[in-house]
């Protein structure tokens, strides 16, 4: 609001206050005749100019910034600070993401694997979720190792994968380790590893 308009409003408010202070003792014949305290005040009061009054939003106080009209910043950085306060807003850091869950158990080992024996030979072993009596169906393709080539079933017990040949003989025992299965062939004791792949 312009300073001149504020001054004019202050003078008008003072004039109204002084006029309201008059009592009946000043309303006698002398007051009506232009004599007395009221008559003395009237000539010295300047006329209040009338004009249009406009309204506009006030600027923020010194040291405070106006609130943005856009959306809050990304990454959870939201802070509400009262204007004029001495609080400094700091970005809010979101909590770290939890570590990825490594699937374990029977369902985690179903699928195609590449088997590698101690001699460096590799072949394909498939572990199915289809039941085969008390076990699950399995198959091996391209395996040079005779024991591994005869695998027809598998099971998961106590955190270990058992590969079976026809007739129920255990061909290999493996344990989950990260993204692979590591163990040994039962007859020879040679190491065996299965890694994901098709």
CA distances from residue 101 to 91, 98, 104, 179 in whole angstroms, order as listed: 29, 8, 9, 12
The CA distance from 1 to 87, in Å, is 30
pLDDT in tens, 132-185: 888 999 999 999 989 899 999 999 998 899 999 988 899 999 998 878 999 999
The CA distance from 162 to 157, in Å, is 8
Most confident of 31-40, 45-54, 172-181, 184-193: 184-193
Structure tokens at 197: 């792949």
User: What was the pLDDT predicted at 162?
Assistant: 95
- Taking 90 as the threshold, does the pLDDT of residue 96 lie above it? no
Confidence of residue 31 (pLDDT cuts 50, 70, 90): very low
Query: What's the mean per-residue pLDDT of the chain?
Result: 74
Long-range contacts, stretch 104-108, CB < 8 angstroms, 24+ apart: 104/159, 104/176, 105/156, 106/136, 106/156, 108/176
């Amino acid at each position: 609001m312009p300073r001149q308009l504020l001054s004019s409003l202050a003078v008008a408010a003072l004039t109204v206050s002084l006029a309201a202070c008059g009592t009946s003792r000043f309303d006698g014949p002398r007051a009506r005749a232009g004599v007395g305290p009221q008559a003395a005040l009237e000539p010295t009061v300047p006329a209040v100019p009338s004009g249009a009054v406009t309204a506009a939003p006030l600027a923020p106080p010194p040291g405070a910034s106006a609130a943005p009209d856009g959306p809050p910043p990304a990454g959870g950085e939201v802070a509400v600070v009262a204007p004029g306060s001495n609080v400094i807003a700091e970005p809010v850091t979101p909590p770290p993401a939890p570590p990825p869950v490594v699937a374990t158990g029977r369902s985690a080992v179903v699928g195609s694997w590449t088997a590698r024996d101690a001699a460096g030979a590799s072949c394909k072993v498939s572990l199915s979720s289809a039941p085969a009596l008390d076990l699950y169906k399995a198959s091996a393709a391209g395996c040079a190792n005779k024991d591994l080539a005869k695998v027809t079933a598998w099971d998961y017990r106590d955190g270990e994968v058992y590969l079976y040949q026809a007739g129920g003989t255990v061909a290999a025992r493996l344990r989950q380790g990260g993204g692979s299965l590591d163990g040994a062939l039962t007859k020879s004791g040679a190491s065996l590893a299965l890694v994901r792949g098709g």
